[in-house]
Amino acid sequence: MTLRKEGWVIEKDMSDDAADVQRVLAGDVDAYAALVDRYYDRCARFAVRMLGNRDDAEDALQATFLRAYRALNRYQERDRFSAWLYRILVNQCRSIAARRAHRERVFVREEALLLNAPDRSRSWSGEDEEFVQRVLAELDPLLREAFLLKYIEEMSYEEMSALTGVGVSALKMRVKRACDRLRDRWERIKDE
Partner 1 sequence: MSDTEHPYVEWIAREAKRPVELDRGARDRVMAAVRAEGAHRSITPARRRWSKLLEPRVFRLSPALTTLAAAGLVGIGVLAGGLKNWGVRKDGRPLVDTATQSPVPLQTTDTVVKFVFAGPRASTVSLVGDFNGWDTTKTPMARDPRSGTWSVALPLNAGRHVYAFVVDGTTWANDPSAPLAPDDGFGHASSVKNVPGPTL
As measured in angstroms, the least distance from the Cβ of 12 to partner 1 is 21
| Residue 7 touches partner 1, criterion: CB under 8 A | no
| Residue 185 touches partner 1, criterion: CB under 8 A | yes
Under 8 Å between Cβ of 172 and 166 = no
- Give per-residue burial for 81-116: e unless 16+ CB within 10 Å, then b: bbebbbbbbbbbbbebbeebeeeeeeeeeeeebeee
| Residue 152 touches partner 1, criterion: CB under 8 A | yes
| Residue 122 touches partner 1, criterion: CB under 8 A | no
Q: How far is 147 from 177, CA to CA, in rounded Å?
A: 9
Q: How far is 152 from 164, CA to CA, in rounded Å?
A: 16
Half-sphere exposure of 163 (CA within 13 A, CB side): 26
Residue ranges with strand state E in the chain: 3-4, 9-10
The one segment of 7-15, 50-58, 78-86, 162-170 that binds partner 1 by CB under 8 A? 50-58
As measured in angstroms, the least distance from the Cβ of 49 to partner 1 is 5
| Residue 156 touches partner 1, criterion: CB under 8 A | no
| Residue 57 touches partner 1, criterion: CB under 8 A | yes
Q: How far is 115 from 178, CA to CA, in rounded Å?
A: 29
What is the contact surface with partner 1 in residues (CB under 8 A)?
6, 24-29, 32-33, 36-37, 40-41, 44-45, 48-49, 54, 57-59, 61-63, 65-67, 69-70, 72-73, 95, 98-99, 102, 112, 115-118, 120, 124, 128-129, 132, 135-136, 147-148, 151-152, 175-176, 179, 182-183, 185-186
